[in-house]
Amino acid sequence: MDIGFCIALLVVAFVLIIVELLIVPGTSVLGFIGFGGMVYGIYEIFATHGTTAGWIALCAVAVLCVGLTVWVLKTKSWKKITLDDKLDGKVNVLDAQKIKVGEEGKAMSRLAPTGQASFSGEICEVQSMDGYIDPKTPIKVVRIENNKVFVVEA
């Protein structure tokens, strides 16, 4: 087998491994094919071009892998393609003193069937038992269960 083909195989295998690590999530076929191609390329260089060429190829691949890993970690270039969003949502925690069954308020958003409502200046998430309720419609609390407020049109 020609040395050019073996080097091309190693380059393609290396690219497949990079694609696996940076673009395709999880362990998939591309990673296995890339790793297998790299092992086969090094094996072929050992088998057809001798141990000296094989050791040179093995060392070059190892240095390239370590060098690329250090470069990617040092430049933080992997941060550009990873998900780095923070969730700042919160659970609807109700103060038993502020919202009670029978209290009336106003829908702040469309309740379809869930949305936001205001009760005495306190905004919380509510669920309509009447179906859809338009914004600014007067509503009434009929039930509170596990921090869920169920409302109907007043």
100 DSSP 8-state letter: -
Residue 85 has a pLDDT of 66
Per-residue pLDDT reduced to its tens digit, 57-111: 999 999 988 887 787 778 776 666 666 666 666 666 666 667 888 999 999 999 9
- Label residue 96 left, alpha or beta by phi (over 0 means left) and psi (-120 to 50 means alpha): alpha
Q: Which CATH superfamily groups domain 104-153? A: Nucleic acid-binding proteins (2.40.50.140)
pLDDT the model gives residue 153: 92
Q: What is the pLDDT of residue 74?
A: 81
Contact (CB, 8 A) for 144 and 124:
no
Residue 144's pLDDT is 87
pLDDT, tens digit (0-9, with 9 covering 90-100), for 14-51: 888 888 877 776 767 888 898 899 999 999 999 998 99
Per-residue model confidence (pLDDT) at position 83? 63
Mean pLDDT of 109-136: 89
| pLDDT, position 30 | 85
Q: Which SS3 state, helix, strand or coil, does residue 95 take?
A: coil
What's the rounded mean pLDDT across residues 112-123? 87
> What pLDDT score does 93 carry?
64
